[in-house]
């Protein structure tokens, strides 16, 4: 890393809330995505308590070098890791060079993310499981309607979530190159990926085979992957309504998939229904609530 380019970073330039900066240099001739454009260098300035929590972008020059300066809050990085979002930026954060650090705070925060501790792991696992379940159900529906191309796409997405779950179980933080990560594990999901994409069977046969394996995986992983939700369901005596659960910040990342997950937990006898009578303008209704 060329220090002359990144030596510009200090508190005055980055802002007083910054805890440090990470520099990342792309290989010469490598593909630059729409975020990086033609910038060879990227500087990621990490803040604690950034007033505007959204990613802030600046385009700058140092001599004749163009570089991109990104300001991001540490809570946003943690959220990306939990949600699996902005994988390229997470990769830059994890693998770039620390070029400026305030009292070791940046290195400590990166060590925390790299450790991929139980709290981060549990939230990320539940999120990937919920997405896995959703696209699996979509693939089953497309297959029943003989819409095989859409079914194939959904199955491929399901395998990606499955792959991330395997990595998480190994204590590995999933990154953007998930198939390269699982290829070295000699994993079941990589064999299924091969079966789906490179087999002499018909497309429908390949899809059906992978769906069967996905169904088994979903069933066997459900209790472990849904531990966060099951703990919430058991955290009070009164059963939870789906509306109450969807408002919880811990479940915000799976808000769209939560109703489906709840029904599957009930179907597998991991959660129970509780009926509550209620009155509205049209008469008496019966609301389904959930508990363990």
Q: What is the pLDDT of residue 11?
A: 53
* pLDDT tens-place string over residues 172-221: 999 888 999 998 888 899 999 999 999 899 999 999 999 999 999 999 99
pTM of the model: 0.83
Which 8-state DSSP code applies to residue 292? -
Instruction: Catalogue all structural domains in the chain, each as residue range(s) with its CATH number.
Output: 3-115 (3.30.460.10), 116-225 (1.20.120.330), 228-292 (1.10.10)
Query: Are 132 and 162 spatial neighbours (Cβ–Cβ below 8 Å)?
Result: yes
Torsion of CA 258, 260, 263, 264, to 10 degrees: -110
Q: What are phi and psi of 54, to 5 degrees?
A: -75, 155
State the pairing for strand pair 272-280/65-73.
Answer: unpaired
State the pairing for strand pair 65-73/41-47.
Answer: parallel
DSSP secondary structure letters along 193-225 = HHHHHS-SS-HHHHHHHHHHHHHHHHHHHHHHH
Query: Are 234 and 291 spatial neighbours (Cβ–Cβ below 8 Å)?
Result: yes
* pLDDT tens-place string over residues 239-274: 999 999 999 999 999 999 999 999 999 999 999 999
Which residues of 10-165 form beta strands (DSSP E)?
Answer: 18-25, 41-47, 56-62, 65-73, 97-101
Residuewise pLDDT in 10s, the chain (292 residues): 444 455 555 555 556 678 999 999 876 555 555 454 467 788 999 998 887 777 888 888 877 778 889 999 999 999 999 988 898 899 899 999 999 898 999 999 999 998 888 889 999 999 999 999 999 999 999 999 999 999 999 999 999 999 999 999 998 999 888 999 998 888 899 999 999 999 899 999 999 999 999 999 999 999 999 999 999 999 999 999 999 999 999 999 999 999 999 999 999 999 999 988 766 555 566 899 999 9
The CA–CA distances, whole Å, from 71 to 14, 43, 190, 257, 282 equal 8, 9, 36, 31, 52
Q: What is the pLDDT of residue 3?
A: 45
Q: Can you tell me the distance from the alpha carbon of 14 to that of 17, in angstroms, rounded to the nearest whole number?
A: 8
Q: What is the pLDDT of residue 9?
A: 57
Q: What is the pLDDT of residue 279?
A: 62
Q: What is the pLDDT of residue 257?
A: 97
Query: Biggest alpha carbon distance in the chain?
Result: 74
């Amino acid at each position: 890393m060329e220090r002359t380019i990144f030596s510009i970073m200090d508190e005055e330039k980055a802002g007083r809330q910054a805890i440090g900066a990470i520099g990342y240099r792309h290989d010469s001739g490598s593909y630059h995505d729409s975020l990086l454009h033609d910038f060879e260098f990227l500087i990621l300035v990490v803040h604690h308590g950034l007033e505007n929590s959204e990613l802030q972008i600046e385009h700058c020059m140092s001599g004749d070098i163009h570089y991109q300066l990104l300001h991001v809050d540490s809570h946003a990085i943690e959220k990306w890791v939990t949600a699996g979002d902005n994988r390229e930026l997470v990769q830059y954060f994890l693998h770039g060079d620390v070029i400026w650090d305030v009292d070791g705070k940046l290195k400590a925060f990166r060590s925390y993310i790299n450790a991929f501790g139980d709290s981060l792991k549990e939230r990320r696992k539940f999120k990937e499981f919920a997405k896995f379940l959703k696209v699996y159900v979509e693939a089953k529906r497309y297959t029943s309607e003989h819409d095989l191309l859409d079914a194939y796409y959904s199955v491929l997405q399901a395998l990606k979530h499955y792959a991330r779950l395997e990595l998480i179980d190994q204590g590995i933080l999933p990154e953007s190159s998930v198939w390269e990560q699982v290829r070295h594990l000699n994993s079941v999901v990589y064999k299924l990926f091969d079966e789906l994409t490179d087999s002499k069977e018909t497309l429908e046969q390949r899809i059906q085979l992978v769906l069967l394996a996905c169904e088994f995986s979903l069933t066997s992983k459900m209790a472990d992957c849904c531990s966060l939700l099951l703990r919430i369901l058991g955290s009070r005596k009164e059963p939870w309504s789906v509306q109450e659960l969807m408002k919880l910040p811990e479940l915000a990342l799976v808000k769209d998939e939560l109703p489906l997950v709840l029904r599957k937990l009930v179907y597998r006898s991991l959660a129970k229904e509780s009926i509550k009578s209620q009155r509205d303008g049209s008469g008496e209704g019966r609301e389904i609530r959930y508990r363990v």
